[in-house]
Each structure stands twice: as structure tokens, then as C-alpha cells.
Amino acid sequence: MRSAVGLVLLASLLVGCRAPGGGIRVALVGSFETAEGAAAQRAARMAVTEINAGGGIRGRPLVLVERDDRNNLDSAVAVAADLAGGNVIAVVGHTASALTAAVTAVYRTGREPMALLVPVTTPPDLTRADHVFRMVPSDSAQGATLAGWARGAPDFARAAILYQNDTYGRGVRQAFEARFTTLGGEVVSLGPWIEPAVDAYLDRIVARGDVDVLVLAGTGPEVSQVLERVRTRGLTLPVLGPDGLVGVERLGPMAQGVHLAMAYHPGAPLPANQAFVLGYTEGSPDVDPPSQVAASVYDAFHLLRTVISDGGASRRGVLGALGRIGTVQPPFQGVTGIVSFTAQGDLARFPLLIGAVEDGAIRLVERR
């Protein structure tokens, strides 16, 4: 009997011990065909390379698992389900707000809940789940900031909002509308879109003739197409938008004067940010400066190195350690600024920037 007990104990020990030296698998999920996805991928590889060059985490290398959601809800759900059942211990993604909002619950369905570090703007209620940590301000924060700026010096009184009818666009629209109305403004026209077919809305804005400012809430090439339609239609209204408008500066003169709210600007004078930007573009002169998504992804991987060192290379350990950042553990100093989390997984403090497109580039106008 004693020998049997000994065998059981030995087997328990063998099972309980994990062979050292294996890599720590962390996933990046995004739409790598899009500009944001590609930027996130580049930033993630850069961060993982730096981490492994520094000896990995507790002597173990960090293994980057890249999964493309093809900017599609169903594909994103499938990828999330696959990762939830796999052996990665944390996920950074997705690179589209709508996809992220659609799959957060999936990462909770595996053998253990898995931390999801979100590098893009998402609805406030996204962090209702305790496994989601937002690396950027929420939609409502950007929308509210934008409304506050609009009701400030420009003193826009009546606004029309054309928004991408997805989680992101609706979130910005709702936050802007609520804050703008509170500050005395009036939203006189709302125009959701899925495809950039906004002529009817533009005709109505023109017909009203009392709109002071046009807010475009969307991301990707679609929002650029909408802006292009606006300018083509001959509307010269001031155009505002969230960080989803990053990229419209490539439209050239049509984007001239567009103001946008954002959480990151590559020109931020932080030394870490400067080093990041330099490393991000080094050797690739054609590569655009890192976007907010790229910077957040970069910060997310370095943050994971910290929390895995603290809580261990497990899903539960990462979740626990992330919850201690900014409370029990000191805040994380990243290229986007100081990262610390509230109990709901939101950034405890964050700067929001107002930029303006000038001559094909985004110039910092105000820091709020």
C-alpha cells in the first residue's frame, strides 16, 4: 500500500511539474490586411523581439501567436473560440472596435478565462467582463472630449453626425451627442452608415443650412470615403472625428482642417515613445509612423512581460497581476503614457489629444 501511495505521489509530482524552458504563448489578433492591423502586427513583433532579446520572461521566451480575424465578425468569433480553447495565456486584440466588442465574451469560455488587452477604442460597457483590460480610452471618452472641444473655442452650436453604424461609431456618436447637448449644443442630424452611402444625409444637411459642424465617427477606409463624399458634395463644414479618422490625412487637401481626438500621437515627447517610434520605423522608410493601435499593442506586450513576471505564466496569474497594476503594483510606464487600471479594467488616467490635419499630416492642437 505504501508503495502505491508513493507511486501516486510521484505521479502527482510529475504531473504537477511542468518542464521548464517552454515558450510563453501570447496571441495578437487583428485584421492584418488593414493598416491598423498591419501596424499592430509590426508593433507586436517589435515588442516580442525586444522582450526575448532581454532574456524573455523569467528565462522563458515569449512566443507571439498571430491570428487574423479578417476584419469579419464570424471569423473573429471563430478565432477567439480557437484561442480560448488553446494554450495561449493572454490575447492582445482585436484591431477593430466592432470585432472586439463582439468577441470579448468568447475569451471567457475556455478552460479558464483569458485576459484580453484591447488596443482600440471600444464601448464603455465592454469592460463589464472582468477579463477585459482597455489599453486606450473608451468611445465615450473620445466622444465626450470631442464634444467638449467643439463647444469650446470653436463654439459650434449645431452639429450633424455621420457615423459608422457599428459599435465604435455608435459609441462615439452617443458620447458626443450626450456631452454636446449637455454643453448647450444641438445635434440636428444623424446619419448612420454601413457603406459610405451618405448622400441623402448630406443633402439634408445642405437643405437645413444650419449645421455648424459635421462629426464623422468611423474608422478605416470607409470614413475616408465618407469624408471624400462630403467634400465632393461641396460641403465645407468643419469636420470633427475620433481617432478612427487617423489616416484621412492621406486624402490630402480634402482632409485639410479636419480635427480629431486621439489618445496617442507619435510626436509625443516621451523618451520611451521616441525610442519606440524610432525603432518602429527604423530600416523601413516607407512605413508610416506608429498609430495609436500600434503604440497600444506595443505597450500591451511589454505590460504582459511585467504581469507574467509578477503573476506567473498562466491565464489566472496574468488576470490577477493585471488587476493589481496601479493598485497593489505600480503603474506601467508605456509609450502611450502611464497605464493603470480601474476595478472595471478601464484606464485609470489617460490624456486625450486634439489634432488637426494640416498638409497631409496630423498636428497636435491641444492636450486635454
Partner 1 sequence: MLAGSLRRRLVAGMALLAGLFLLMALIAIASLRSFRDTVAGELEAVGEGAVLASSLMSGASAQLRTAEAYLVSPSPELSREFFRVGDNLHTVRRQFRQIAGLGPGDQTVLNRLASEQARLEVSYATAHALRDLGRTEEAVAEAARARAVVDSLVSNVQSLNRRQQTGLHARTTTVSEQARQREVVLWMLFGLAIAMGASVAVLMVRAIEAPLQELIAAARRFGEGDLRPIRVASMPVELDALAQAMGAMGGRLRTVIDATVREARSISASAGDLSAMSEELAASSHEIVKAIAQVTAGAEQQVREVREGDALLGKLRDATAQDLTATERVAALGEATRTLASRHGTDLSTAGEAVAALREDIRLATGHTRALVRQVEAVGRVIDAAQQIASQSEVLALNAAVEAARGGSAGGGGFGAVADQTRRLTEQSRSAATQVSEVLQGFDTRLQEVLGNLQSAAVRVAEADATTRRSALALEEIGRLVDAMRDIAARVARSAEDSRRVSTRSSELRTHLEHIAQENVMAGEAVTAAATEQSEATDDIATSAARLLEASERLTALVAGFRT
Grid cell of 83 as nine digits: 484561442
Say if CB 127 and CB 345 are below 8 A apart. Answer: yes
Which of residues 77 and 287 has its CB atom nearest to partner 1 in the complex? 77
**Smallest gap from residue 222 Cβ to partner 1 (A):** 12
Which of residues 78 and 348 has its CB atom nearest to partner 1 in the complex? 78
- Beta partners for residue 186, in sequence order: 158
Task: Please select the residue that binds partner 1; options are 63, 65, 78, 270, rule is CB under 8 A.
Answer: 78
Which of residues 43 and 83 has its CB atom nearest to partner 1 in the complex? 83
Which residues in 252-271 contact partner 1 (CB under 8 A)? none
Which residues in 99-138 contact partner 1 (CB under 8 A)? 101-106, 108-109, 123, 125-126, 128-129
Which of residues 53 and 207 has its CB atom nearest to partner 1 in the complex? 207
- Per-residue x/- track, 183-222, partner 1 (CB under 8 A): -------xxxxx--x--xx-xx--x---------------
Within its chain, how far is the Cα of 34 from the centroid? 14
Task: Please select the residue that binds partner 1; options are 63, 65, 77, 157, rule is CB under 8 A.
Answer: 77
Which of residues 1 and 53 has its CB atom nearest to partner 1 in the complex? 1
- The verdict on 4 binding partner 1 (CB under 8 A) reads no
**Smallest gap from residue 289 Cβ to partner 1 (A):** 32
**Smallest gap from residue 331 Cβ to partner 1 (A):** 28
**DSSP 8-state secondary structure symbol assigned to residue 232:** H
**Smallest gap from residue 224 Cβ to partner 1 (A):** 18
**DSSP 8-state secondary structure symbol assigned to residue 162:** E
80: left (phi over 0), alpha (psi -120 to 50) or beta: alpha
Which of residues 108 and 250 has its CB atom nearest to partner 1 in the complex? 108
Look at residues 213, 230, 215 and name the one whose alpha carbon lies nearest to residue 157.
Answer: 213
What angle do helix axes 35-53 and 271-281 make, rounded to 10 degrees?
110
Which residues in 346-365 contact partner 1 (CB under 8 A)? none
Which of residues 204 and 324 has its CB atom nearest to partner 1 in the complex? 204
- Beta partners for residue 341, in sequence order: 347
Q: Write b or e for each residue in 150-176: b if 16 or more Cβ atoms lie within 10 A of its Cβ, otherwise e.
A: bbeeeebbebbbbbbbbbbbbbbbbbb
Longest dimension (CA), the chain: 91
Say if CB 93 and CB 70 are below 8 A apart. Answer: no
Type and span of the H or E element at 261: strand 259-262
The set of residues, in sequence order, having a beta carbon less than 8 Å from that of 54 and lying 6+ positions away, is none
130: left (phi over 0), alpha (psi -120 to 50) or beta: alpha
Which of residues 47 and 96 has its CB atom nearest to partner 1 in the complex? 96
Which residues in 147-186 contact partner 1 (CB under 8 A)? 165-167, 170, 174
**Smallest gap from residue 194 Cβ to partner 1 (A):** 5
# residues near partner 1 by CB under 8 A:
35
Which of residues 125 and 358 has its CB atom nearest to partner 1 in the complex? 125
Residues 35, 212: Cα–Cα separation, whole Å: 31
Residues 344, 304: Cα–Cα separation, whole Å: 18
Say if CB 90 and CB 303 are below 8 A apart. Answer: no
**Smallest gap from residue 84 Cβ to partner 1 (A):** 9
Which of residues 54 and 85 has its CB atom nearest to partner 1 in the complex? 85
Grid cell of 299 as nine digits: 505597450
**Smallest gap from residue 297 Cβ to partner 1 (A):** 23
Residues of this chain that bind partner 1 (CB under 8 A): 73-74, 77-78, 80-81, 101-106, 108-109, 123, 125-126, 128-129, 165-167, 170, 174, 190-194, 197, 200-201, 203-204, 207
